[in-house]
């Protein structure tokens, strides 16, 4: 009855690979909450839950992102959900959802790129799978409505049995400063409880989910100025790296020192990397 699949995926955020390695953004449950409004036969009730999990994305640039790719997400509701709808003497409906989680249907297969404009982005047609149990009991008016849609008045539904669903769209904002990426999604989606019987009722999901993570620079042996390439511009930084490591760290604070371990022996800074560095520059 309750088509949480696909709807919850819109709750949080996030194809050609970007330039960096995909990274996971953990969801902060203290700043992330989704509201779930259930409406049947003209009556509505709302419950909410904090959200945990992560969203895996890639950006074309950590410093100034203009494009975003979605690689995976695993979203878990921290709380069980409960709804009670009353028609007075004409009946009632009680529903409970437990163990609800939503996952990207094809983890590792990227969607995108989606453009980032003033920090905003949006994906469309995102495939999702879900898990969890929804148990409901209806009497009177909602029972008749369920029966009219070919459903029993009492039942338990395993969300995993619904298979892969499609979230029409979800969007949000992404910003980066000092390699700290902040990902936020704002949600407002309404779908029918039963697509085959749209008059039965609706499910409205809305809220905000927020996550933040520090993304360390990628290791690129020989790139001692961390401009993304190994060339003659790395000679002076390499000399500084070997002669005054502290000064190199202060000058290139966001550059991983492992970039100077060109022979891969785990020692750095080390004069044993000089000849390998020359070999890199000479091809």
- And the tokens for 176? 């980066």
User: Domain total for the chain?
Assistant: 2
Confidence class of residue 19 from pLDDT cuts 50, 70 and 90?
Answer: very low
Same domain, 98 and 207: yes
Confidence class of residue 191 from pLDDT cuts 50, 70 and 90?
Answer: confident
Same domain, 244 and 182: no
% of the chain at pLDDT higher than 90:
47
* 29 part of a folded domain: yes
Taking all residues of the chain, what is their mean pLDDT, rounded to a whole number? Answer: 85
Distance separating alpha carbons of residues 52 and 54, to the nearest angstrom: 7
Same domain, 149 and 195: yes
Mean pLDDT of 263-282: 89
Give the end of a domain, one of 214, 241, 269.
Answer: 214
Q: For residues 198-229, b (16+ Cβ closer than 10 Å) or e, as one string?
A: eebbbbbbbbbbbbebeeebeebbbbbbbeee
pLDDT score recorded for residue 168: 67
Same domain, 101 and 181: yes
Q: What is the pLDDT of residues 50-65, one digit of tens each?
A: 999 999 999 998 888 9
Mean pLDDT of 141-153: 91
Interior angle at CA 182, CA 179 and CA 184, nearest 5: 160
Strands 111-115 and 67-77: antiparallel
User: In sequence order, what are the residues at sequence separation of 6 or more whose Cβ sits closer than 8 angstroms to the Cβ of residue 9?
Assistant: 73, 75, 102, 104, 126, 128, 130, 165, 167, 170
* 169 part of a folded domain: yes
* 265 part of a folded domain: yes
Closest C-alpha among 195, 160, 178, 212 to residue 27: 212
Same domain, 179 and 87: yes
Residue 49 CB burial class (10 angstroms; 0-12, 13-18, ≥19) = buried
Mean pLDDT of 248-258: 89
* 244 part of a folded domain: yes
Positive or negative torsion for Cα 158, 53, 183, 60: negative
Same domain, 141 and 256: no
Distance separating alpha carbons of residues 144 and 148, to the nearest angstrom: 6
Same domain, 62 and 187: yes
Same domain, 44 and 14: yes
% of the chain at pLDDT higher than 70:
92
Same domain, 165 and 136: yes
Q: Is the pLDDT of residue 84 over 90?
A: yes
pLDDT score recorded for residue 5: 32
Strands 91-104 and 67-77: antiparallel
Residue 87: Cβ within 10 Å count: 16
* 158 part of a folded domain: yes
Distance separating alpha carbons of residues 214 and 243, to the nearest angstrom: 30
Same domain, 207 and 263: no
Confidence class of residue 127 from pLDDT cuts 50, 70 and 90?
Answer: confident
Same domain, 245 and 181: no
* 148 part of a folded domain: yes
Closest C-alpha among 210, 242, 206, 197 to residue 224: 242
* 80 part of a folded domain: yes
Confidence class of residue 36 from pLDDT cuts 50, 70 and 90?
Answer: confident
Question: The domain containing residue 206 runs over which residues?
Answer: 8-214
Same domain, 168 and 241: no
* 219 part of a folded domain: no
Mean pLDDT of 73-95: 94
Confidence class of residue 281 from pLDDT cuts 50, 70 and 90?
Answer: confident
pLDDT score recorded for residue 259: 92
Q: Is the pLDDT of residue 16 over 50?
A: no
Confidence class of residue 157 from pLDDT cuts 50, 70 and 90?
Answer: confident
Residue 24: Cβ within 10 Å count: 17
Q: Is the pLDDT of residue 1 over 60?
A: no
């Amino acid at each position: 009855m309750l088509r949480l699949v696909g709807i919850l995926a819109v709750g949080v955020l996030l194809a050609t690979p970007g330039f960096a390695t995909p990274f996971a953004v953990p969801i902060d449950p203290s700043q992330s909450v989704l509201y779930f409004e259930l409406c049947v036969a003209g009556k509505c009730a709302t419950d909410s839950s904090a959200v945990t999990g992560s969203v895996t994305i890639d950006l074309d640039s950590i410093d100034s992102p203009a494009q975003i790719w979605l690689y995976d997400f695993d979203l878990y509701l921290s709380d069980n959900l409960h709804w009670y709808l009353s028609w007075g003497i004409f009946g009632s409906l009680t529903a409970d959802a437990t163990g609800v989680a939503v996952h990207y249907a094809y983890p590792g297969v990227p969607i995108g790129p989606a453009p980032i404009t003033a920090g905003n982005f949006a994906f469309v047609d995102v495939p999702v799978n879900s898990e969890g149990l929804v148990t409901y009991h209806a009497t009177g008016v909602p029972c008749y409505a369920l029966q009219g849609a070919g459903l029993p008045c009492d039942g338990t539904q395993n969300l995993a049995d619904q298979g892969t669903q499609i979230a029409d769209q979800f969007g949000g904002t992404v910003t980066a400063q000092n390699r700290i990426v902040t990902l936020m999604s704002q949600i407002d989606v309404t779908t029918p409880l039963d697509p085959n019987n749209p008059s039965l009722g609706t499910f409205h999901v809305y809220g905000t989910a927020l996550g933040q993570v520090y993304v360390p620079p990628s290791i690129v042996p020989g790139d001692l100025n961390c401009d993304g390439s190994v060339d003659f511009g790395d000679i002076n930084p390499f000399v500084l790296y070997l002669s005054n490591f502290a000064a190199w760290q202060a000058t290139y604070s966001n550059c991983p020192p492992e970039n100077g371990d060109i022979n891969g022996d785990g020692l750095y800074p080390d004069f044993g990397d000089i000849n390998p560095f020359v070999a890199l520059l000479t091809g």
